[in-house]
Structure 1
Amino acid sequence: MSRRDDLHFSVRRTLEKDGWTITDDPLILVLEQTLLKADLGAEKFFTAEKEGYKIAVEVKDFDAVSVISELEKTMGQLQLYQWALAEQEPERQLYLAVSQEIYIKHFQKPIFQLVVKRNKINLLVYELRQEVILQWIKH
């Protein structure tokens, strides 16, 4: 199994441990007759009085030779997913899932902080080995 698959299933288990129900794996989106696949769709119900909170999750490891090229590619993917979600499921919030190690290694850099802030990227930071969510960062 590839590292990407390992991360995918780890994030899925992490969300399930946190009480999320995985509704789509992958989440299929359509934008101008083009199929797009976000890694996961999930729902979590907080209380009986509230509607379910829905998310779409893209998992990234930023393990490419050029981390900036990977960032550029990821931003393009997230923008397409956001556009498709706005049309298909506007109630679903998009999150980029990264491990704590990657968050510390890359997302503290000014270029990453600028990209996240300007593009209003929501982050889900998780601990890979223990499979727990450490932070929800909403922009």
Structure 2
Amino acid sequence: MPAKDIYHNAVKNTLIKEGWTITADPYLIKYEDAGLYADLAAEKPIAAERQGQKIIVEIKSFVGRSLMYDFHAALGQYIVYRNLIQLTAPEYTLYLAIDDVVYKEFFQRKGVKPDFYNRSKTSKTNPSAHSRKLAYQYRSEIW
């Protein structure tokens, strides 16, 4: 099992307060000979007659020596997880949870902004307004 990031419990508790049910902690992404662990999987029912939202959240602390190095590692991990999830569990949407200070001071830089990397038309890479609202409530940003 991988070590939990320092914001793990804060993210998890906020999801629960927002009405999400944690379905896995951690979530195993299994594809052929690859087995990787994302931090959380959660589900939020919308209505009894419709299927709810399903998300997988990878939490990153960005506490290494270099924010750019942490960014490269997180982006690479995100891309691998996203691709495997699209193959194995396409009903899930993947999010990256980061601290709001890192989001405001690093992720808003022109060369780092998520829009720069999200040139594809797949909706799986674009977080909803709800996820951004949720993110600020636990002082992290879901990217």
Return the alpha-carbon distance in structure 1 between the equivalents of residues 139 and 18 of structure 2.
Answer: 7
- 1:118 maps to 119
Within a 5 Å distance, the mapping from 1:1-139 to structure 2 comes to 5-113=5-113, 114-118=115-119, 120=125, 122=127, 124-125=131-132, 126-127=135-136, 131=138
| Runs of at least 5 residues in structure 1 that lack an aligned partner in the other structure | none
Amino acid at match of 1:131: Y
Q: CA deviation at 1:116?
A: 4.3
| Runs of at least 5 residues in structure 2 that lack an aligned partner in the other structure | none
In the TM superposition, what whole-angstrom CA distance separates every residue of 1:68-111 from its partner, at most 9, and x where no partner exists?
Answer: 11111111111111121112110100001122222111111012
> What is the number of residues matched between the two proteins?
131
After superposition, the CA RMSD in angstroms is 2.4
Structure 1 residues 22 and 84, CA gap change in structure 2 (3 angstroms): same
TM-score with structure 2 setting the length? 0.79
Structure 1 residues 121 and 76, CA gap change in structure 2 (3 angstroms): farther
In the TM superposition, what whole-angstrom CA distance separates every residue of 1:36-56 from its partner, at most 9, and x where no partner exists?
Answer: 000000000122232111000
Q: Is the 8 A contact 1:18 1:132 kept in 2?
A: no
Q: CA deviation at 1:122?
A: 3.5
**What percent of counterpart residues are identical?**
34
Q: Is the 8 A contact 1:27 1:39 kept in 2?
A: yes
Return the alpha-carbon distance in structure 2 between the equivalents of residues 10 and 65 of structure 1.
Answer: 23
Amino acid at match of 1:97: A
Q: Is the 8 A contact 1:96 1:122 kept in 2?
A: no
Return the alpha-carbon distance in structure 1 between the equivalents of residues 70 and 139 of structure 2.
Answer: 25
TM-score with structure 1 setting the length? 0.81
SS at match of 2:51: coil
Q: CA deviation at 1:115?
A: 4.4
